[in-house]
Amino acid sequence: MPISKKARDLHAAVDLIDDAIALVKKALNHNPTDAEERDLEQILLRLEAERSVLQAEFDDALEGVSGVQAPTAEQVQQVADLSNEVATATTQAHLSSDAIALGGQVFDLASKIVSHA
C-alpha cells in the first residue's frame, strides 16, 4: 500500500522539527547565558510538544484513520527554510540568541500546521 501524500508531508514536517530540536540542543551546549538557556529550554519543550502532535498525526495518516489535513508544500518549505536559518545561526557568534528567535519561528509555523489540520 503506497504512503499517502499527507503521510509523506507529515513525515517531512516531523523530520524538520527533529532538525530544529537538534539545533536548539546544540545551541544549549555552546555556553548560552542564563536567560538564553531558559529561552532555549522553553523553545525545546514547545518543539518537542509540537513534534509529538505531528508524530501522532503521522501515525494516524499511516493507518488511514485520520481526517488530518497535511501541511501544504509551502508550509513544509517554510519550516525547512527556518530550520536552515537555525543551522546557520548555530555557527555564528550570536549563536544562542539567534537560535532562540529562529527556533520560536519554527515553533510558530509548526503550530500553524497543526492548527490547520
Encode pLDDT of 49-104 as tens digits. Answer: 889 988 988 888 887 644 556 677 787 777 777 777 766 665 554 556 666 777 77
d(CA 104, CA 23): 12
pLDDT digits (tens, 9 = 90+) for 3-21: 788 888 888 889 999 999 9
**CA–CA distances in Å: residue 33 to residues 18, 27, 43, 94:** 24, 11, 15, 11
Determine if residue 31 is left, alpha or beta; phi over 0 gives left, psi from -120 to 50 gives alpha, anything else beta: left
d(CA 103, CA 24): 7
Q: For position 96, what pLDDT does the model report?
A: 63
**What residue spans define the domains of the chain?**
5-115
Q: For position 22, what pLDDT does the model report?
A: 92
Q: For position 66, what pLDDT does the model report?
A: 46
Architecture of domain 5-115: Up-down Bundle (1.20)
Q: What is the rounded average pLDDT of the residues 36-54?
A: 89
d(CA 25, CA 34): 15
